A and B are shown apart, each in its own frame.
Chain A
Amino acid sequence: MRPVTDRDSAAWWERVRAGEFVLQRCDSCGTRRFPARAYCHRCRTAGWSWEPVEPAGRIESWIVSHQPFLPGVREPYVVVMVRLADASECVMYGNWRCEEPPRAGRRVEAVFTAVDDGLTLIDWRPAG
């Protein structure tokens, strides 16, 4: 299912497509935030900049999805929830790119998966 981007998020998806792992950093208080939005939830100011951060984190949780929620997808697949190394308040989801099952607390790194010319997704695998 392709992401339905919006006016807050489109630039973030463009960065992902270019292979960049970035978060917003508040120009006023320095808080990093994800997903993309206009105002800082901590100091409520509007100025921000993209900041490259380590494309890494730890597995907070994971599931193995069996029910065919997506049309045409019959095989089980793994979704992981990753707490980011450089932003402990932020989590990202992605598919698991490893034969071995995930384990809570395991260090992981991002994998950029190019779906087509217009879309790249972020997946995860054990940190190398």
Chain B
Amino acid sequence: MAGFRDRTAVAGVGYTRFSKDSGVSTLTLACEAILAALDDAGLTADDVDGLATHRVGDSAAPSVVGPALGIREPAWHLDQFGGGSVSHAVIGQAALAVAAGVARTVVCYRAINARSEFRMGGTGRALPVSPEVQYQAPYGYVAPPQQYAMFARAHMTKYGTKEEHFGQLAVRQRASAVKNPRALMRTPITLDDYLASRWIAEPFRLLDCCLETDGACALVVTSAERARDLRRPPVLISAAAWGGGDSFLSGGGGDVTVTAAAEMAPRLYRQAGLGPAEIDVAEIYDCFTYSVIVQLEDYGFCAKGEGGPYAASGAGVPVNTHGGFLSEGYVHGINHVAEAVSQLRGEAGDRQVDGAQVALSTAQPGYILPATSALILRKG
């Protein structure tokens, strides 16, 4: 895979404001974030020849966004069905299209009104992601926080992971969000606040769960060579990997404390030519506190079973420096990549990790569907 490593780059990043009620369509959010990302890169919509997104029937497709921005001739586009597990695959696909010469400038975006229009699992409606939903929905098992709570409990049972480990992680991510002007939640919390927050699905409390956010984020992907001539310091895409694994929805599968990321991670690191010890900052998909803990294990930052104490201590790799979905906002994966870019550009302000050269950014690790994806980015 040396033929892929560092050949493409993220050249621009754009956001809308994050809120609980955007008051506008996902098309409007997408356009605003895309234009902001292009401006960041020093480009315009006339330079764009590719668009890519992921969605679950809840947002504007490239075939809608393209004409809305007057992009007349998209050479390549991707409208990926799926949730958080495919969030990083979309950017990986865009990088492949650029590396292959099929497209020159691809904008990856995710626009979502996850609070005011389409609440995931919050409407009593199960997402039609898999035929396996029929074996759970009749029992009132319909929402991601319930599913992740089930696996979190298994990890607690097997390894002695404690609710205080979840709580300390939530407290630390909030402390990072306090330093992030974009973040929705900027009031510090304590472990007592965590323990006092109401139950959602035991063992998860409210503060174990990500926010439901209205907002959009966009990234400009182009060749590394071209990115060097653009406005901002390039951030190279060193590796992009996709993974699968067992389905734990209903059938198949062995150890429920191991995710699809465990099998994929060695492939990702091999592609980048480095290992977890070389990662300076890790933006880890935090739909729930537990998803961070299990990924710290499965991406090799600590041994299996030690993710709870590792995450609680805060002594290891800096994690979710923007506050994550728990405290910055939930843009379904892409805002983790955007934060990694900010860190590698050295422009993360009060939350900057000194000397950050290499970042890991990860997707939902694969419990809800047996799939995941991740990127390793490097300062250009």
Interface size class of chain B, counting residues whose CB lies under 8 Å from the partner chain: 35 or more
Cα A61 to Cα B137 in complex, Å, equals: 17
Contact of B153 among A2, A3, A63, A119 (CB under 8 A): A63
Interface size class of chain A, counting residues whose CB lies under 8 Å from the partner chain: 35 or more
Residues of A within 8 A of B140 (CB): 1, 65, 69-70, 73, 77, 79, 95
Contact of B252 among A77, A90, A119 (CB under 8 A): A90
Q: Is the CB of A35 within 8 A of B131?
A: yes
Q: Which residue of A lies closest to B246 (CB)?
A: A89
Q: Is the CB of B138 within 8 A of A69?
A: no
Contact of A91 among B134, B138, B251 (CB under 8 A): B251
Q: Is A19 an interface residue (CB 8 A)?
A: no
Could you say which of B126, B200, B201, B204 has the most chain A C-beta atoms within 10 Å of its C-beta?
B201
Q: Is A98 an interface residue (CB 8 A)?
A: no
Q: Is the CB of B203 within 8 A of A91?
A: no
Q: Is the CB of B138 within 8 A of A121?
A: yes
Identify whether the interface residues of B are mostly helix, strand, loop, or mixed. mixed
- Contact count A vs B, C-beta below 8 Å: 119
Within 8 A of B (CB), among A1-57: 1-6, 8-9, 33-35, 41
Q: Is the CB of A63 within 8 A of B150?
A: yes
Contact of B135 among A3, A76, A95 (CB under 8 A): A3
Residue-wise interface mask of B (201-232) relative to A, using a CB-CB cutoff of 8 A (1 in contact, 0 not)? 11110000000000000000000000000000
Within 8 A of A (CB), among B115-138: 121-122, 124, 126, 131-138
Q: Is the CB of B131 within 8 A of A6?
A: yes
Cα A1 to Cα B146 in complex, Å, equals: 16
Least Cβ–Cβ distance between A78 and chain B, in angstroms: 9
Q: Is B187 an interface residue (CB 8 A)?
A: no
Within 8 A of A (CB), among B138-189: 138-143, 145-146, 149-151, 153-154, 157
Contact of B124 among A4, A5, A69, A81 (CB under 8 A): A69
Cα A9 to Cα B132 in complex, Å, equals: 10
**CB within 8 Å for A9 and B131 given contacts A3-B138, A62-B153, A69-B124:** yes
Q: Is A112 an interface residue (CB 8 A)?
A: no
List 27 interface pairs A-B (beta carbons < 8 Å), by A numbering.
A4-B133, A4-B134, A4-B137, A5-B134, A33-B251, A61-B153, A61-B154, A63-B149, A63-B153, A64-B201, A65-B146, A66-B199, A67-B199, A69-B121, A69-B122, A81-B150, A89-B252, A89-B254, A90-B250, A91-B253, A93-B136, A93-B141, A93-B250, A95-B139, A104-B153, A121-B138, A123-B139
Report the 4 A-B pairs with minimum CB-CB distance, sorted nearest first: A3-B134, A64-B202, A61-B154, A66-B199
Q: Which residues of B contact A (CB under 8 A)?
A: 121-122, 124, 126, 131-143, 145-146, 149-151, 153-154, 157, 198-204, 248, 250-254, 256
